[in-house]
Structure 1
Amino acid sequence: MPARKYGPTAPAVDHTVRSLAEVGGDLSGQEHDHVAFVDLDLTEVPTTGAVLDSCTFRGVRFNASGYSDTAFINCVFVRCSFFDTSFDACKFTGSLFDGCTHDLMKVGGGDWSFVGLSRAKLSRASFVGVRMREADLTGARCDGATLRDNDLSGALWEGADLSGADLRGSDLSALDPLAVTLRGARIDPWQAIVVATALGLAVD
């Protein structure tokens, strides 16, 4: 499991849930802390207004489901599937992803600060208008990803592949262009100045 920058790598578990029936069929409006959710199938199950704090999700399938105004705080996701999952105004502060799939995952708004996505395969994922301060994206596969209008201040980028990614409007102030792959990435004029300055160029 990747090292976790904030908090313990795996939160303590007080209770384990192995069937969706144990929580009433869906998680909408529920609050859980220090719970392990194991091998659940949440495919096409919509969730609104849930609060999950310091929970562990292992082998959970979130495929084709939609989440809105839901918080996953300091949670750990291990070998979970997020195929075609959408998150609208959700909070993932301090959460860690390990060995998950994110194909066609769509994130709109919300707070993903301090999230651990090191070595994650995000090539077909989309993050738009998301607060991602100090997110750990070291070694992440973001080639072809959409990362637009995000607050990525203080993010960790070393070894990330951003080939062909759409980065327009995002804060790239923490990006070392010599420590990542940027070939074909799309940036706006202001970002071009940031990148040029990081390379030691004088922009007049």
Structure 2
Amino acid sequence: MAARLPAPRAPSMRLDDLAPGFPGDLDAGDRVDALTFTDLDLTGLSLANSTLSECDFDGLRGPDADLRGARVLETRVRRVDVPVFRAPRSTWRDVLVEEGRLGSAELYDANWTAVRFVGCKLGFVNLRGATLTDVVFQDCRIDELDLGGAKVRRTAFPGSSIAVFAVQGATFTDTDLRGAEFSEICGVESLRGATVDGDQLALLAPLLASAMGLRIQD
């Protein structure tokens, strides 16, 4: 009997008794603890190199978001709508994002632990060179997910559809692709260590054969 695939750990957070937060509480390089924000407009704000800990954002919008090098810890974000999201080299731990829309998300070289996206619509998600542990994309629609060179462990995509899944040079450990739909996979030879179901394997067969230099003739 095959060993049971370990499930990703769910985010853990305590968001009780939070004080109201205001745009003036947020600035690049600052530390923000235990605040709740409602319908926050990010226009003109920078959160680069800041630390957000035990915060709750219910409604987050703006033309762009700057979280370069930021640390996001034990935080929940709901109803996010940001066309351009820049958070390379950021650290996310115990983060839940629900009902969000991100257009272009630059997240390369990020470090994610216990991060979950639920019911989100995502455009181009650049996680090249990132480290993902205990990550879930649940019921999400993703135009392109680039995991090139990433280290991916205990990650799952239940109910999600990904138009372009780029995985060149990535490494997978206990990663569950079952329940996800893919239109195109780039770098299929790098999927070693991932788990797929029978239907997915049938779709992957031509790509695997091409990667191995096999010719299929009846």
Q: Could you state the TM-score of these two structures normalised by the residue count of structure 1?
A: 0.80
Q: CA deviation at 1:33?
A: 1.5
Match of 1:71 in 2: 71
- 1:5 and 2:10 are equivalent in the alignment: yes
Structure having the larger proportion of residues in strand: 2
Match of 2:89 in 1: 89
User: Which range is displaced more, 56-65 or 107-116?
Assistant: 56-65
Separation (CA, whole Å) in 1 of partners of 2:34 and 2:68: 21
Counterpart of 1:15 in structure 2: which amino acid?
Answer: A
Match of 1:31 in 2: 31
Residues 9-47 of structure 1, C-alpha deviations (whole Å, 9 max, x = no match): x612431123x23x2xx4212112211122221124333
Q: SS of the residue aligned with 1:28?
A: coil
Separation (CA, whole Å) in 2 of partners of 1:183 and 1:173: 23
Separation (CA, whole Å) in 2 of partners of 1:67 and 1:165: 24
Q: How does 1:155-170 map to 2 (within 5 A)?
A: 155-170=155-170
Separation (CA, whole Å) in 1 of partners of 2:63 and 2:161: 25
Q: CA deviation at 1:124?
A: 2.7
Instruction: Report the CA distance shift for 1:44/1:138 in structure 2 as closer, same or farther (over 3 A).
Output: same
Q: Could you state the TM-score of these two structures normalised by the residue count of structure 2?
A: 0.75
Separation (CA, whole Å) in 2 of partners of 1:197 and 1:17: 43
Percent identical across equivalent pairs?
A: 14
Q: SS of the residue aligned with 2:171?
A: coil
Kindly indicate whether the alpha-carbon contact (under 8 Å) linking 2:107 and 2:126 is maintained by their aligned counterparts in 1.
yes
Residues 77-136 of structure 1, C-alpha deviations (whole Å, 9 max, x = no match): 010223212002111111000111111121121212210113322233222221111101
Q: SS of the residue aligned with 2:132?
A: coil
Q: SS of the residue aligned with 2:174?
A: coil
Separation (CA, whole Å) in 2 of partners of 1:12 and 1:105: 30
Match of 2:98 in 1: 98
Residue of 4, 18, 21 corresponding to 1:17: 21
Query: Unpaired runs of 5+ in structure 1?
Result: none
Separation (CA, whole Å) in 2 of partners of 1:66 and 1:94: 20
Counterpart of 1:76 in structure 2: which amino acid?
Answer: R
Q: Which has the larger radius of gyration?
A: 2
Counterpart of 1:5 in structure 2: which amino acid?
Answer: A
Instruction: Report the CA distance shift for 1:109/1:177 in structure 2 as closer, same or farther (over 3 A).
Output: closer
Counterpart of 2:119 in structure 1: which amino acid?
Answer: R
Q: SS of the residue aligned with 2:190?
A: helix
CA-based RMSD of the aligned residues comes to 2.9
Q: SS of the residue aligned with 2:40?
A: coil
Residues 137-158 of structure 1, C-alpha deviations (whole Å, 9 max, x = no match): 2332234332322222110222
